[in-house]
Amino acid sequence: MLDKSVPYAGFYMHRKAGAPIPASPLPDGFRFVFYSDGDEASWARIETAVLEFYSEFDALMHFKERFLPYADELRRRCLFIEDENGAKVATATVWWSLVRGRRLPWLNWVGVDPRFQGLGLGKALISRAVALMAELEGDVDFYLHTQTWSHKAVGIYMAHGFLPTDERALYRERKDNYKKAMRILGHIR
């Protein structure tokens, strides 16, 4: 869940091609599944529970606008973790964006329902998502956007090869965010 008690600064992380992918197995009773029609409600519930959206309606509208137009890609790029009852409790999406004319693979919208945090699901999810990115995109550089409010997840990202980056092409209008984020994170850790 986001820690909104710390100042906010968004920043980017970069995982270089060839970085090893640590194995982080799922705990017993959980399994990975891909998106299937109707799972957008579960995605919206999870992302709202971790405070990425103010309401499930807002989350659902974002999902429908950003991902549903690419339903075939979504079925092979949006991961969930289900519990033993089939309830979806975590999600991550392996996507892409065009950045100044370059198609870059991105890890997007990583979220673990707060009721299931602390069980190792986040580590397993990121490990599987990074492996999936490599399967789909090849051994290339990967990116993600995060924020200081996600400082607990930043350590997990770093353990999976992502490092904060100040690549100017990524920051567009907010070139100062990288330095601000590093200052904030330095005070937390």
Per-residue model confidence as pLDDT tens digits over 19-77 = 999 999 999 999 999 999 999 999 999 999 999 999 999 999 999 999 999 999 999 99
CA distances from 42 to 7, 49, 50, 79, 86 (A): 29, 10, 13, 11, 11
Cβ neighbours of residue 68 closer than 8 Å, sequence gap 6 or more:
40, 74
Buried b (16+ CB within 10 A) or exposed e, 78-117: bbbbbbeeeebbbbbbbbbeeeeeeebbbbbbbbbbeebb
CATH class, range 10-188 = alpha beta
Give the pLDDT score at 170.
78
Confidence of residue 173 (pLDDT cuts 50, 70, 90): low
β-sheet bridge partners, residue 158: none
- Give the Cβ contact number of residue 177 at 10 Å: 20
Is pLDDT at 104 greater than 70 in this prediction?
A: yes
Mean pLDDT over residues 148-167, rounded? 93
Residue range 167-176: mean pLDDT, rounded: 69
State the pLDDT at residue 188.
83
Query: Given pLDDT bands bounded at 50, 70 and 90, which one contains residue 97?
Result: confident
Residue 172: its H or E element: none
The arithmetic mean of pLDDT across residues 126-133, rounded, is: 96
Judge whether 66 and 105 are in contact, CB under 8 Å.
no
Confidence of residue 175 (pLDDT cuts 50, 70, 90): low
Q: Which one has a higher pLDDT value, 51 or 171?
A: 51
The conformational region for residue 35 under phi > 0 = left, psi -120 to 50 = alpha, else beta, is beta
